[in-house]
Amino acid sequence: MSEPAAAARLTLELTDGLKPDGLEDLYRDLHRHPELAFQEHRTADRLAARLRAAGYEVTAGVGRTGFVGVLANGDGPVVWLRGDMDALPVREATGLPYASTVDGVMHACGHDLHITWLIGAAEALAAGRETWSGTLVVVGQPAEESGGGAAAMVADGLHERFPRPDVLFGQHAAPGLAGFYPHTPGLIMSASDDIDVVVHGLGGHGSRPESTVDPVVTGAYIVTRLQSVVSREVAAAQSAVLTVGQFHAGTQANIIPAEARLALNLRTQDPEVRERVLAAVRRIVTGECQAAGCPRPPEITVHPGYPNTVNDASLDEEIASVHRELFGAHAVFDFGPAMGSEDFSLLAPAGVPYDYWYVTTTPVDVWEAAPGEGLLERLGNVPSNHSPLFAPDLSVLVPGVQTLVSAALSKLS
């Protein structure tokens, strides 16, 4: 029997006793009680309690609200499994009977699935510890959405206080007909930077614009000009996304404000493209402010967020092979690099290989009702991550546990 087949067989044995109802109860509870970045106290407490009950040594408060569970089970490799816990400031519109009870906060990105999968896998591996040897480390990460969670855990001694990993695994819920497990060797997700811009104008009365320098008009020109950066300054074969996500100015209709504030987000897959776009942003913002006669130069602040996520290619093929054994060759394919971003890779110490894959979660009826003929066209017409309508199919609960269990077993002796 091949190694992937052996890992798949053992995974099925260890997860044979999984009770979908139990996983659903945990998932529904987490979905009902979402918590924003660095506020995941209830979530972390509940998950840590389950790990302790399964035999893990648990350290709470790592990186403020994160936790780490360690199960030492003899000689062998050290495997880290990671799940992120935070929700989003989104008002839920799914109408689910287990919808969020917190107004304006929702698990709209699937992190409630991630940690349900994580705990299910941790419990299954603990219950079947006689079948493997090594050390399993379970990482409950806070604040992925804000971009600071992984860095906070590392700054809090994640790499020094716990057994050094030989490998790190993670996964993400994604739109797409439920039942597929996309793997991408190499670059799988993009780098992300946030850019804050402050335009300084000269405020005054709305009836006398000639006595002012209107930062709203200047900001509007900036927003418009920025739309040409990717289309005219980035080669067609390269990828970049530049989004103006916020534009704040003024307090009243008849007052021309003294400043306008813009917040931008940049996604890139190549360091040279990143620098080119950042230079274009600085040039355009500075040039529009000069053209408007602003009394002070603009403030432009770049906040580096997520690095590129680059899977170890041989490791990814190894785990993809295990998942093909589990779910069938048709269920695993290479979707290619995405423009989405993650701080997952920061959890891996330098030189440690990692693998990150997707689990598609769109219910069959939602997928079939979506307009469009091809995969990509339909994909654009189903609720995606960060949508107030994002509602994963609960049929993915057990398979999402099995993907993590099988990855861990492929490395544990």
Write out the binding residues.
109, 111, 145, 172, 386
Mention every residue, 6+ apart, whose C-beta is less than 8 A from residue 210: none
- The tokens for 371 are 């307009």
Contact criterion met (CB below 8 Å) for 332 and 320: yes
φ, ψ at 228 (rounded to 5°): -95, -5
φ, ψ at 79 (rounded to 5°): -115, 130
Cα Rg of the chain (Å, integer): 23
> How, if at all, do strands 66-73 and 259-268 pair?
unpaired
Mention every residue, 6+ apart, whose C-beta is less than 8 A from residue 253: 206
User: DSSP readout, 306-324?
Assistant: EPPEEE-HHHHHHHHHHHH
Q: Give the Cα separation of 212 and 110 in Å (integer).
A: 47
User: For residue 24, how many other CB atoms are within 10 A of its CB?
Assistant: 15
Mention every residue, 6+ apart, whose C-beta is less than 8 A from residue 298: 197, 198, 199, 200, 285, 286, 289
- SS3 for 66? strand
**How much of the chain is helix, strand and coil, in % rounded to 5?**
40, 25, 35
Q: Give the Cα separation of 258 and 385 in Å (integer).
A: 37
Mark the binding-site residues for Mn(2+), compressed into ranges: 109, 111, 145, 172, 386
Beta-carbon-side half-sphere exposure of residue 405 (alpha carbons within 13 Å) = 34
Alpha helices, DSSP H, located in 310-396: 313-327, 364-369, 375-379
Q: Give the Cα separation of 173 and 237 in Å (integer).
A: 28
Beta-carbon-side half-sphere exposure of residue 356 (alpha carbons within 13 Å) = 29
- The tokens for 252 are 């009243």
Q: Give the Cα separation of 73 and 109 in Å (integer).
A: 33
